[in-house]
Structure 1
Amino acid sequence: MHKGLKIFGIITSIGMLIVLLQGALVTKTGSADGCGATWPLCFGELVPQTQTMETLIEYTHRAWSGLMGLFVIILAIWSWNKLSHMRETKFMALMAVLFIIFQGLMGAGAVIWGNSDIVLALHFGISAISFASVVLLNILAFEDKKHAPVISVSKKYRNYLFFVLIYCYIVIYTGAYVKHTDATHVCSGFPLCNNEFIPDLSGTLGYQIGIQLTHRVAAISLSIVILILWIWTISKFRHYKSLVWGSTAVLVLVIIQGTAGVSILYADTYLTPALFHSLTISILFTVLCYLGMVSTRKKSY
């Protein structure tokens, strides 16, 4: 059932993941100005004549993002028509379309008018929501009727799950803010910062160190709350396979995420671990969104 929709959904999900990684690549290589201050054209040209690496990275990101925007709209309409009997479909379809548009407008605004580091950091968070919405739409096509898991959890567990989801998004934001404020390497070593438990936070460098330390504390705290979620799931709801596998995946991903984050400090070339860092947190957030979705189900379709 829905073979074409499933295939198209997989293609769109992979495409959106590439968009997300391209955006991270643009930030990490300093290619945001690779097409100048013009949008959607690049230096006012449909195909730019400038042949720098920064231009290639930014131009490719724009072109691919535009194509995926069209794919997301098609997927949303297709899902709306075929899966409207599923409770989450319309909401996810609207989320996918709204956030891909919002994501594009934020990117365009940053190019034309420029934005603060705070707003630019939010751009990655918006991309994470957009990616998660597309993936969940795709999952609904696979779950239709016969395979949709229906669970019954306590209100406390559900509330805690959504707390973890929201907190994860905050951690994503703090990580993006580290990148946009060039605070990635202001602290050498881990867990201490420049061999100090409480480093000097005065001046511009101190501000960047504060941002880095805030993200470290937030990331470590995320690992703890996810560990609690996993223990709670295994002890109380291990008869629900979707919760067990989902919470286990999240726990494994947060460990990988932390390892990738620390490796950025020691790698000769930090680009690869940094992109992997962005990849794992995006997938982790998406799995949490799925757990949140199934935890609200009351009955079978």
Structure 2
Amino acid sequence: MHSTTLPQLAITGLLVACLPLSMVWMSSDPHKFRKLVWTIAFLTFDLIVFGGFTRLTDSGLGCPDWPGCYGLANPFLAHAHIAAAEALMPTGPVNVFKAWIEMIHRYLAMGIGVLIVGLMSTAWIQWRRSHARAFNPLLPTVLFLWVCVQGAFGAWTVTLKLQPAIVTTHLLLGMTMLALATWLGGRQDAILAPPPAPDAAAESALRRLRPLAWASGAVLLLQLALGGWVSTNYATLACTDFPLCNGQIVPDMDFQHGFTLWRELGKTAAGHYLPFQALTAIHWVHRNFAVVVVLVLGSTALRAWRLPGLHGTARNLALVLLAQAMTGIATVYLSFPLTIAVLHNAGAALLVLLVTMLNYKVQHLLDPASRPPRWQAAASASHS
């Protein structure tokens, strides 16, 4: 690696972070910490979607080293190396377009890292001054540690040549980072405008809803892992029809090789080429578990729809769940168009955001310490 590469990358990360930071700083919103939290959540969502685009365009090895591109800070400087690699393998993973896609993904990740450092620093400083609940530094610190682990898996994604277990873990860590930022954003919203305490009937319904909301998160996490496993093994078109798979309800499948976790891309653990039946098994399991996801998340949305304070989140959850099912089917019917596949990835991230927000709201409404008394809420409403 060139001696100036790391400083140049650090400057690039700072420059990427400058625009959102300046927008937060110059906004008229007096609650700038809250605005910074939601800015990080929004950009994390964007990073996940762009990461999906990077994976789906086969650009993950557009720059086959890390953190730079052929030891340099950007594809402009590495143009000669990229051109040489493309000349040796014209249909390979390295060309200028893919190199830029990969490096833009890294630059955005670095910018978000800078924003999270700023968030954590602000939280600690304000917490020491005021001990205000809004600045509790625990979650911002967890978010900082999480992004460090996420960065390490991003590096291993490249250095281990897109090994499916590493790439899938990288995806899950990114989705969890979005969940953490969303939970922190929900906390800021609730502190700024605390909802009124539920009455006895609503509180009873919330207690019945809470286990189902937790189950929705667990089921969604498993489906994300299965979806990541489909994507990282390039098994999207292993079943070419729907609702059947290659004309059969239960096609010929190889679960042993398909779900061996530690292996190279496209290879079995023994180093042989992965049989097509293994890809079929990967696709078939993800497709059929989607039915469980629709049933559990749909039931959760239906129950939450009837409760005060949860109607909007439940409605959005139901709409995104329907759209996600439609884009999943469309990827098969339309033979994996890039736009639909990216939208399917975005839908998964939106489901994470909405399920997290639903869980936070249920938890917050059931926590007596986090809500104003009924008389205080009523007085506040009468004055507004």
Question: How large is the RMSD of aligned CA atoms in angstroms?
Answer: 2.5
Q: Once the two structures are superposed, what CA deviation does each residue of 1:8-27 show, in whole Å capped at 9, x if it has no partner?
A: 33432332222111211121
Equivalence for 1:22: 50
| Contact 1:84–1:90 under 8 Å retained in 2 | no
In 2: Cα distance, 1:295 partner to 1:214 partner: 31
Q: Say how many residue pairs are matched.
A: 296
Which residue, 52, 59, 64 being the options, matches 2:108?
64
Q: Normalising by structure 2, what TM-score?
A: 0.70
Equivalence for 2:308: 240
In 1: Cα distance, 2:101 partner to 2:142 partner: 27
Which residue, 330, 343, 347 being the options, matches 1:280?
347
In 2: Cα distance, 1:248 partner to 1:84 partner: 36
What residue ranges of structure 1 are gaps of 5+ in the alignment?
none
1:225 aligns with 2:296: yes
Equivalence for 2:188: 141
2:308 corresponds to which letter in structure 1?
A: Y
Report 1:161-172 matches (<5 A): 161-172=213-224
Q: Once the two structures are superposed, what CA deviation does each residue of 1:197-220 show, in whole Å capped at 9, x if it has no partner?
A: 111115811111111010011111
Which residue, 66, 74, 98 being the options, matches 1:39?
66
In 1: Cα distance, 2:52 partner to 2:234 partner: 13
2:277 corresponds to which letter in structure 1?
A: G
| Contact 1:72–1:97 under 8 Å retained in 2 | yes
Judge which range, 275-284 or 136-145, deviates more.
136-145
Report 1:143-162 matches (<5 A): 143-148=190-195, 152-153=203-204, 155-162=207-214
The alpha-carbon deviation at position 91 of structure 1 amounts to 4.4
| Contact 1:183–1:209 under 8 Å retained in 2 | yes
Equivalence for 1:190: 242
The 3 A distance-change label for structure 1 pair 232 and 141 is closer
Equivalence for 2:380: none
Q: Normalising by structure 1, what TM-score?
A: 0.88
Equivalence for 2:169: 122
Which structure 1 residue ranges, 4+ long, deviate > 6 Å from structure 2?
none
SS of aligned partner of 2:277: helix
Flag the structure with larger Rg: 2
Percent same amino acid among aligned pairs?
Answer: 19
| Contact 1:89–1:140 under 8 Å retained in 2 | no
Judge which range, 163-172 or 77-86, deviates more.
77-86
Q: Once the two structures are superposed, what CA deviation does each residue of 1:3-56 show, in whole Å capped at 9, x if it has no partner?
A: 3224433432332222111211121111111111x2112111112323611111
1:99 aligns with 2:143: no
The 3 A distance-change label for structure 1 pair 149 and 245 is farther
The 3 A distance-change label for structure 1 pair 47 and 116 is closer
| Contact 2:298–2:321 under 8 Å retained in 1 | no
In 1: Cα distance, 2:208 partner to 2:134 partner: 23
What residue ranges of structure 2 are gaps of 5+ in the alignment?
1-28, 80-94, 255-273, 373-384
